[in-house]
Structure formats: structure tokens, C-alpha cells
Structure 1
Amino acid sequence: MISSSVQALLSKASALRHAGRVEEAIAAYRQLLNVEPQLPDSWYNLGWLQRQARHFEEALASYAEALARGVSKPEEVHVNRAVILSDQLFRPDDARAELDRALALNPLYLPALLNLGNLAEDRGDRRGAEDAYRRALEVDPLSGLALARLAGVTMDYETDDLLRRVGERLDDPALEPAGRADLGFAQGRLLDRAGRYSDAFAAYRSANDAVRASAGPSFKSYDAVAHERFVDRLISTFDRPTTARAEAEPVVFICGMFRSGSTLGEQILAAHSKVMPGGELDLIPTIAERISPYPEAAANDEAIAGARRNYLRGIETLDAGSRLITDKRPDNFLHIGLIKAMFPRARIVHTRRNALDNLLSLYFLQLHPDMSYALDLGDAAHWYGQYQRLMAHWERLFGEDIFTLDYDELVRDPTRVTEALLHFCGLEWEDACLQPHRVKGEVKTASVWQVREPVHRRSSGRWKNYADEMRELANRLGSDWPEKA
């Protein structure tokens, strides 16, 4: 039984955690555990909070304390450690070891099996991913997520059987919206693979509707007016070129619309001996979120200096040595003004592709409900127009430091475009850059399997398979839209 003074500290820490006051809650849990360290659940909560605050090594240590002190459901703690090791600290072997420990404790632990499959996908291990998802379905035959992921990794010859299984699950009226979304996107992919394009589009439409439903009352529809105002504020705040620093910057930022070829661009650079791929780092959005009000408060030398320090601290986990790091977060295009304020000599690779292909691919991608513009083609087109407006502004300010990597040009003439990209990044030619599919290591992206293939042109002009469905969008935007796309 704990004393009243310890109970008071515990209540305070818990209240701060529930209130979302992360740093204060961390301090409170530290105070509590200094007084009474034999509280495994409190060590667990401290680890969770440290993860939210991006103190990843400290979170691992706190989770280890929870395990050492007999926390309930230790398999859950091992999975949490695995996610940090894989997603934040880029240590996939250690992440795999944590998942193996979780499954040794509980072979039927579904989150461990799903994460094991996801880790295998990131590493290009199709057989390992398929095995993990099949094991997950043996544990829970009704798991929509396991079936959806299995559909994403299996080969073409199994399309018919998987379509039947997915369809049977979707026919279940008791299926929750989140599971309906997972399976709906899987069904769309399978139908597209089978060339049943009209059916595929209908499946994707239902899947996007299910994403909305899965958010419940908290769902916020895309607000076109608010987004236009935000873009106005970005343009107003960052309205002049930055003063260049003497030293070169350690990072190349790759950004643009989601599904515009950013992963392929990063893989081309990752094939170079002097480049360290960082993947979709969340550092810039996190930094922007902590500047209030954003963007106006970013026009402050002290805020920018702090942001630069935080970013550099965040990429220390990459262990890049003298190599150039790539930060491939597509929606960083919103924050190019902030990036250039932090890193005046930063190079920006702007990825772009045919607009109709881009919007279609975005509509076919399962995203978080917070990205509500992607759930409707009309909203996505509006977002695309604002993206074009903002990029035009950035190019006026920072044109010499922005390289436009056009996906359609790249797949038509990979040698010429790759040569220009390497030159822009200050890199010598290396033949390996023409074979980005051979790059070893993790790839965390929705297009994980596409980038494991040699560069091809199959996705260029894909919208033509859906010309009837896209015509409505073309009419809303003007009859000449296809020609402009």
C-alpha cells in the first residue's frame, strides 16, 4: 500500500498526463518515481510521455524499467519499444528482437504480429510480411487490418481468392468503420490489379466514406476557406529571400504532394554512397506545431535559432557521419519558408507529377481522417491548387535552391533527370543511382513495393483507366483540365 504523499504525487502526474501537459507530466512522474520507484505502470506512463515528447532513448529506458519491475502485459511494452526502434531510431534489427520477445511471451499477441509484418514490408521481405499477416489471421480471422495488409503483399495469382475473402468481410454489417476502411482500400487495390477499374473506383469511394465514419463526431470536413487563409499567412510571413549562411546545410528536403514521386526521388539519392536516407521525418511539422502562432511567430530570430537546434538534435539519431541526409516528408512544402529561415542554404527537391495521376493516387491512398482533403476528389483538387499557388511563391523567393523533380520526365528519361538531380545536390555521378530498387534498408512509405521495382512508366497516365470517373472532376475544374494536367 502506498503512502498518502506518494498517492498525491501519483494523482498529480496522472492529472497532468490526462490534460495533455506532456513536459509537466514527465517532470511529475520523475518526481514520483524518485520517491517510489516500484511502480511499473508509472514507468510505463513515463515512457509513453517521453515518446510523445520525442525523448526516444529516455522512453526506451523507462519502458525497460517497467519491464524490470513486472509491468502487466509486458508484450505490449516490447511492441512499444519496437515501434520506437524502427520508426524513430532506425534500428530495425533491435526492433525485430523486441517483437520476437513479445511473441515469446504471448504467441497470440495480434499487435506484435501486425508490427512484425509491417517491419518485414519496410525491409522488402515480402515472404516474411505475408507469413506474419497469415499468422495474425489465424489468431483473429476477423481482423480486417490483417486481411487488408495480406492483400497488399500477396502476388497477382492470388487476387481472386483474396477478393472473395475481402468481399465476404465487407458484407458483414457488424464490421466497424475502421475495418471497413482498411478492407475497402484493399478491395480497391485488388480490383485495380485485376483491371476492373469501375469497380475499383467504387470500392475506393466507399473506403474513403468509411474513413470519415471511423473518425466519428470528431471528424472535421475540409475547410477550403481556412486553408486558403493559411496559405495567405504563409506567403505574407515568409515574403523575402533569406540571407545565405557560409556553410553548406546537412540536409536535402524532398517535398511536394503526397503520391508525387518523393519516395522514388529519395531512393535515387539513397543509392549514392554519400547520402543517408532519412525517410518521412516528422521533425519539421512538429517544430511548426510548437511555434505559436504559426507562421507569424516564426518571423523571430530566437524562434528560428531554437527550431534549427531542435531539428539538428532530431537528426542525430540517423548517424549519418559525413553523408548528406534526405528528409522526405511530402507536406513539408507548406513549410519551405520555415526551412529556409532555419537553413538558408538548404536545397529543396520539389517532386511533381501529372495532376490527374496525382489526385487519383491520393484518393486511392488510405490517410488519416485529419487529412480530410484527400477523401474527396473535389477537395483534393482545391488543395492541389493551393499547393501550386504556394510553390509558385517559394520558387519566386528561392528558385535557385529548388529543383523540380518531375516524375513523368524521370520515368521517360531516367539518366538525364537523375544526372540533373545529383548535380543539384552537389553529388558526383554514380551508376547505382539508376537502380534505386536495389537500395538496401527500410523504406517507410505507402509505395513500398513500387520502389522495390526498377523504374517503370506504368503509373504515368494511370488516370486514363478511370477517365469516366475523372471526367466529373475535369468538368468541375474546367473542360481543359486534362490538357493542363
Structure 2
Amino acid sequence: MATQIDLPPSSENSSLARHGATTLQAELQSLHALQARGDYSAAAAGAKRLLPLHPANRDLLLIEAHALRMTKQTEAALAALERLAHHHPRFSQLFLERGLCHVVLRDAPAAIADLRTAVGINPALTMGWRMLDGLYRMTGDNRSAELAARHCAHLASLPPPVVQAKVLFADDEVDAAEALIRRFLLEVGDHPEAMRLLAQIGHMRNVLDDAELLYAGVLAMVPDHHEARHEYVQVLIARHKFPQARAELEPLLKLDPTNHAHRTQAATIQVGLGDFEGVIPVYLEMLRETTGDTPDARVHRADLNLWLGHALKTEGRTDEAIDAYMAATADRPDFGDAWWSLANLKTYRFAPESIAVMRERLDAPTTADIDRVHIAFALGKALEDQGDFAGSWAAYAQGNTLHRASNGYIPTVFETNTREQKRVCTAAFFAERIGWGLDDPAPIFVLGLPRSGSTLIEQILASHSQVEGTQELPDIQRIVHELQGRELDFDNPRYPAVLPELDAATIRRFGEQYIADTMPNRVMGRPYFIDKMPNNFRHIGLIHLALPKARIIDARRDAMSCCFSNFKQLFAQGQEFTYGIEDIARYYRTYVDLMDHWDAVLPGRVLRVQHEDVVNDLEGSVRRILDYCGLAFEPACVEFHKTRRSVRTPSSEQVRQPIFRDGLDQWKNFAPWLEPLRAALGPDLAP
């Protein structure tokens, strides 16, 4: 039997599934029954009666359009579909139904366009492929007809429940798709396409370990399932298993070495392994191959230029990175990620023309929500640089509000974890475990809050001949996830409560696992390396147990400066506490509370480095850091800005310059809007 995944419910269309048949659900079932009996007039009348009460309901609008088409009211059906498109513009069945209307009107080009869109969104629409097969043959496009026929044959070879579940999944009916495919697997046993769909659901919901197991099972059954292999590689990349991902991708590259999807995955793996310099010509070559002015070509070029810009920025080739990002915005003026990447250079200043484009796209109804968030943050940075602090604050506030509305952050989860860390990880607890763990002195953990000066500390250390800078490594988080288990209980979490149950052998295994898993990132072979994952401050107890010889540096910054810097930063992923003033203040207070606890139970274990001290006394701070790490002083650490290395974080451009004070008091420009932050932090942290 395929591995079962205990997944959380989807946010969309899930209330009906959870709470049983409501009045509307009963009405919809009745209308579907009328359609099944062929009583389309009654179905249309019923939908028309209910729509004033539920004008945006997807099912009602589709039932109305379908019933109107079946009663030969084609123009009325198209009008109903326009209403459906207004509320649900990416619904595959909208395009399928509209394509069928165009078939009735004998408009083959319009029918083909809509049906292609339908199957592009939802490849499991058998009717769409069947109609395309006939239309392509009628218009003489035999090659496309053969492709459509192959899709029809493939879907016909699958059990109907699998096809139905695929249709549901593609149209965001994830709960229903999962329930259906689980029932099928329980009844039938292993089936590669059913397991693949369950893996896709797991990947979408970030249940990556189960998704990985399911894909491995699919490929064990069908080794030449190229689509499943491509998706499997994506999961391995998401899990930062880059060497394994590279091995799994190799058969696809051998089979089709010019395929951009496979080459993009290969480039992502290179980036994951730290080879930014080597990936630059790969992106440039794909850009040269991406010609034409079609929408697909423009979107692909924009993506390639974005990725190219990231690699160039990381390598310190800032001017070239700017050119790449600007090229991305030229192909896609609403490409929020490209605009934010320019702002995220920190040293870049926007031209008035670019600011005008961002203002226009921020308010445009066609701009996607995710792009709107990125543009708001970019506009905030642009206006801040111009000295328009009121306008800048408004843009930052808009971006934060939009992001906070969708990120699902729950402050009490971190606070509960902190309370449990303090309860479990006492001085007596550590005293009983002296001598445990792996005595490997190689790791240097630089942790704390984001935007606290950790990149500067990393750059100082990585300028030393004995130390290698890597990146924000996920490997401690992996161990934590293993300890947490799959049944998450936020009120009574299994981790860290499970720590007292672990024996010395298990703790040592975690230390060995960490060293082994981080080895692919240590390409220079130096005796020490830096792990700059900021959130590791939550797990200092675990780090101390597993790696008692590791160095731990807490990067600390003035509360008002740090919190405001987080508020105006849009992070690529995670750090969901940063999108609201109250959330940021609560998190900062809890962070300080937890660090005070580590100082009390592990005195002298953590070196605290205040960012303002580094700025005011660079050499003294450098000597203090090196002394703590047991490293001899080297002048290169003071001249850190001359060190050539890949830097991934938002501060990458700043640490390539000599030390500067400009960022210390930037929050004061926004003081009129930051009184709630000061009050939430309290007088001890923000006097």
C-alpha cells in the first residue's frame, strides 16, 4: 500500500467537505442531478434562482453556462461565462465550456485557443483533448492532433477515479482530490499515477518527506516516468538534497539535453551547491535560445534574467545584475520579483521612469497578488531613497498588510516553543549530558534575528584563511523536523519535550548527521565553516548537545533598528513574523528572552556581538570574534570588503563596501509611524 500522508486541509473549497451538506451544497447536488437527467432548462432556472444569493459561486456559474449551451442559448452561455471569468479567471472548466460554445458557433480558431488554455491549466480534461483532436484534424494540423490523441489515450488508460481526482486537483479542489485518491489507493493498492498525485499534493502542502517517498515508489514501479522524475527532482531540490537531485536528473538530461526545464533544474542544483559562477553561462545560453515576442517567450526570458541577476549579484557583479533585472522588467513590467530584486541590492537607486512603472503596476487590476506585494516593497525602498518617507511608509505598510493577510503566521507557536525550551533545557539537564555529542570544532553558527548584522560577521570570518563561508544551511532544521514528527501539536509540541528521552548515541548521531549533510557546501576544504541560518537561535540547546565544540555567535542589533529593518524587508521565504509591527515586537522580545535563558544555563557558550559595536570599533570587534573562535588575527578580516566570495543575503552589496554608519539610524526617518513599535517593545528594549 502506498505511504499515507496526514495532510492539513486546503483553505479553498474545504468548509463544505469538513462540515457536511449545507443548504447550498444540497441545492448544487440537485442541480447536478438535473443535468445528469438532461433537464437543462430546469438546471438553468435553478442556477438563475440561486445566483443572486451567491453571485461568485463557481459551480453555479458553470451550471448556468453549461445548461444554457445545452439548450442552444449559446450567446447567453457566453455571457454567463464572462461573469464566471470575472470571478474565477483561471478555472479550467470555464475555458472548456467556452471552447465548446465556439465549436457550436463554428469558430474553430477561438475554440482551439480556449480548449488549449483549458488543458494547459488542467491536463486531465479528457473532453478538452478529444475536442482538440477533432479540431486539429479538421484544420489540417495533424501533428497537434496526434499529440491530443495521445493525451486522450493516456487518460483512457487510467482508472476513472484517478482521472477525476486529477481534474479536481488541477482546479484547486485539493481536499476532494485527496479524499478520492486515498479511497482509491486503499481499495486498489499501489498505482503509480495515484501515488504521483498524492505526492503532488504533499509537495504543494510542503509535506516533502512523504512526497519524496511517494515519488521514489512511483519511479521504482515505472523508471521511465519522465514527468514523475522531473517532479521528484523538484522535491529533492526543495529538501536541499542537491547531490541526490543531480543524480536523479541525469537520465532526463541525457534523454533531452536541450530541454530548458531540465537545464533550469540543473542550474538550480548548481546554485544550491554554491556554484554561482558556473551557472551564469548556463542562464546566458538559455537566454540566447529564447527568441520571439510571444507571451510565453517573454515570461521565460523574464525568469531567466531574474535568475541570472541573482547569480551575478551573489558573485558581486552588480552592474550586470542590474542589467539583467531591468531586462526582466522590460519583458514583464508587472514582474514584482524583478523590481524587488533591484531594491534588494540596497545600493541601487531607481530612476523616475521605473518608479512611475511601479506605481502604475501596483494599482493595475491585472497585477497578481504576489507581484503586488513585491512591487509595494520595492516602491517603499525607492521612495525612501528619495526622502519621501510618508510615501515610503505607505508602500511598506501596504506590502506588509498584503503579505500578512495570507501568510498564516501564529505568534504563539514560537512563544510556546520558547517556553518549552526554557522548561526542558535547564542547567541541570546540560550538566547531566556533559561529554555527549560529536567533538567536531568545524561549525561556527552565526545566528540571531534577520537584519541584525549577521552577514557582516559572516563576511569578516569568511575573510580568514581557515574559515569557509557557506550559506543559511537547513540542516539543524531538518533534525528538528525529525524530532517534531509529523503530528504537529502547537499547544504541546513534541520538540523540545522529546530531548530528555534521547540517549547519548542518538545525540552523537545527530552531530554526525549534521557534519555529513553540510559537507557538500564545504567546497574549499577549510577546517572551519559558517552556518548562518538565523533561526538556529531557537535550537542552541540541541546544537550544544550534538556539537559541543561548535562556536555560536549571536548577532544582535538595536531593537528599533532591527525591527524596522525587518518590517521593510521582503524575505524570499520564511520569517513570517516580520510583516506586522506587533508581530515583530513580540518576536524580538521572545528572542531576547530565549537568548537570556541560554546565557543563564550555558554561561559563556554564546558570544554576543552587537552590530553597533562592530561599526564603532571594527578592529576591536574582529579581534574579539576571532579570539572566541580560536583563530589567529588576520588583517584580511578587517578588510573584509575586499574578500571575493559569493554572498546570498540582502546585505550582499553592503558587505562589499567598507564599514559604514548610514544604516544605524534609518528608522528615525520613520519615527512618526513607529511609536506603536516602541510601545510594543517596551522601555527596556526601546528607551
C-alpha deviation, 1:205, in angstroms: 0.6
Q: Does the aligned pair in 2 maintain the 1:26–1:50 contact within 8 Å?
A: no
Take 1:55 and 1:142, find their aligned partners in 2: how far apart are those partners? 33
Matched, 1:229 2:416: yes
C-alpha deviation, 1:436, in angstroms: 1.5
Matched, 1:416 2:620: yes
Matched, 1:314 2:517: yes
Matched, 1:243 2:430: no
SS in 1 for 2:530: strand
2:434 aligned partner, one-letter code? T
2:499 aligned partner, one-letter code? A
SS in 2 for 1:400: coil
SS in 2 for 1:458: coil
Deviations 1:2-45 (A, max 9, x none): 9989x9753254144135323422431331344xx3x3223212
Matched, 1:442 2:646: yes
Deviations 1:93-117 (A, max 9, x none): 3322432343344254232221111
2:322 aligned partner, one-letter code? E
Question: 1:316/1:416 Cα in 2 relative to 1: closer, same or farther (>3 Å)?
Answer: same
Q: Does the aligned pair in 2 maintain the 1:159–1:194 contact within 8 Å?
A: no
1:175 equivalent among 367, 370, 377: 367
C-alpha deviation, 1:459, in angstroms: 1.3
C-alpha deviation, 1:192, in angstroms: 1.5
SS in 2 for 1:440: coil
SS in 1 for 2:366: coil
Aligned partner of 1:57 in structure 2 is 243
Aligned partner of 1:93 in structure 2 is 277
Take 2:244 and 2:656, find their aligned partners in 1: how far apart are those partners? 34
Take 2:393 and 2:604, find their aligned partners in 1: how far apart are those partners? 40
Question: 1:200/1:335 Cα in 2 relative to 1: closer, same or farther (>3 Å)?
Answer: same
2:499 equivalent among 274, 295, 298: 298
Aligned partner of 1:195 in structure 2 is 387
Matched, 1:29 2:218: yes
Aligned partner of 2:179 in structure 1 is none
Take 1:297 and 1:112, find their aligned partners in 2: how far apart are those partners? 45
Aligned partner of 2:462 in structure 1 is 270
C-alpha deviation, 1:159, in angstroms: 3.8
Take 2:681 and 2:608, find their aligned partners in 1: how far apart are those partners? 24
Q: Does the aligned pair in 1 maintain the 2:280–2:312 contact within 8 Å?
A: no
Question: 1:152/1:160 Cα in 2 relative to 1: closer, same or farther (>3 Å)?
Answer: farther
Take 1:479 and 1:384, find their aligned partners in 2: how far apart are those partners? 13
Q: Does the aligned pair in 2 maintain the 1:345–1:401 contact within 8 Å?
A: no
1:230 aligned partner, one-letter code? N
C-alpha deviation, 1:236, in angstroms: 1.8
2:479 equivalent among 287, 305, 308: 287
C-alpha deviation, 1:61, in angstroms: 2.6
Aligned partner of 2:593 in structure 1 is 389
Take 1:341 and 1:399, find their aligned partners in 2: how far apart are those partners? 15
Q: Does the aligned pair in 1 maintain the 2:445–2:551 contact within 8 Å?
A: yes
C-alpha deviation, 1:310, in angstroms: 2.2
Take 1:101 and 1:159, find their aligned partners in 2: how far apart are those partners? 29
Question: 1:131/1:370 Cα in 2 relative to 1: closer, same or farther (>3 Å)?
Answer: closer
Take 1:479 and 1:389, find their aligned partners in 2: how far apart are those partners? 15
1:63 aligned partner, one-letter code? L
Question: 1:91/1:475 Cα in 2 relative to 1: closer, same or farther (>3 Å)?
Answer: closer
C-alpha deviation, 1:140, in angstroms: 2.1
2:676 aligned partner, one-letter code? E
Aligned partner of 2:549 in structure 1 is 345
Take 1:439 and 1:272, find their aligned partners in 2: how far apart are those partners? 9
Select the structure with the greater relative contact order (CA < 8 A; seq sep ≥ 6). 1
C-alpha deviation, 1:476, in angstroms: 4.1
Take 1:450 and 1:345, find their aligned partners in 2: how far apart are those partners? 31
Aligned partner of 1:147 in structure 2 is 339
Q: Does the aligned pair in 1 maintain the 2:236–2:244 contact within 8 Å?
A: yes
Q: Does the aligned pair in 1 maintain the 2:342–2:348 contact within 8 Å?
A: no
Deviations 1:276-309 (A, max 9, x none): 0022111112221121222222331354233223
2:353 aligned partner, one-letter code? D
1:422 aligned partner, one-letter code? L
Q: Does the aligned pair in 2 maintain the 1:255–1:348 contact within 8 Å?
A: yes
Q: Does the aligned pair in 2 maintain the 1:78–1:99 contact within 8 Å?
A: no
Aligned partner of 2:448 in structure 1 is 256
Question: 1:62/1:352 Cα in 2 relative to 1: closer, same or farther (>3 Å)?
Answer: same
C-alpha deviation, 1:390, in angstroms: 0.4
Take 1:222 and 1:52, find their aligned partners in 2: how far apart are those partners? 23
In structure 2, runs of 5+ residues without a counterpart are 1-152, 163-189, 203-209, 292-296, 485-493
Q: Does the aligned pair in 1 maintain the 2:277–2:311 contact within 8 Å?
A: no
Take 1:132 and 1:473, find their aligned partners in 2: how far apart are those partners? 37
SS in 2 for 1:295: helix
1:82 aligned partner, one-letter code? A
Question: 1:291/1:303 Cα in 2 relative to 1: closer, same or farther (>3 Å)?
Answer: farther
Greater shift, 202-211 or 395-404, is seen at 395-404
Deviations 1:395-450 (A, max 9, x none): 11222221111100110010111111011011101111112222212101112221
% identity of equivalent residues:
26
Take 1:365 and 1:192, find their aligned partners in 2: how far apart are those partners? 13
Q: 1:10-29 counterparts in 2 under 5 A?
A: 10-20=192-202, 21-29=210-218
Aligned partner of 1:399 in structure 2 is 603
Q: CA RMSD in A?
A: 2.7
Greater shift, 40-49 or 409-418, is seen at 40-49
1:25 aligned partner, one-letter code? L
Question: 1:60/1:420 Cα in 2 relative to 1: closer, same or farther (>3 Å)?
Answer: same
Take 2:329 and 2:616, find their aligned partners in 1: how far apart are those partners? 41
Aligned partner of 2:662 in structure 1 is 458
SS in 1 for 2:471: coil
SS in 2 for 1:386: helix
Q: Does the aligned pair in 2 maintain the 1:256–1:352 contact within 8 Å?
A: yes
1:24 aligned partner, one-letter code? L
Greater shift, 98-107 or 108-117, is seen at 98-107
Take 2:658 and 2:514, find their aligned partners in 1: how far apart are those partners? 33
Matched, 1:75 2:260: yes
Q: Does the aligned pair in 2 maintain the 1:197–1:465 contact within 8 Å?
A: yes
C-alpha deviation, 1:382, in angstroms: 0.8
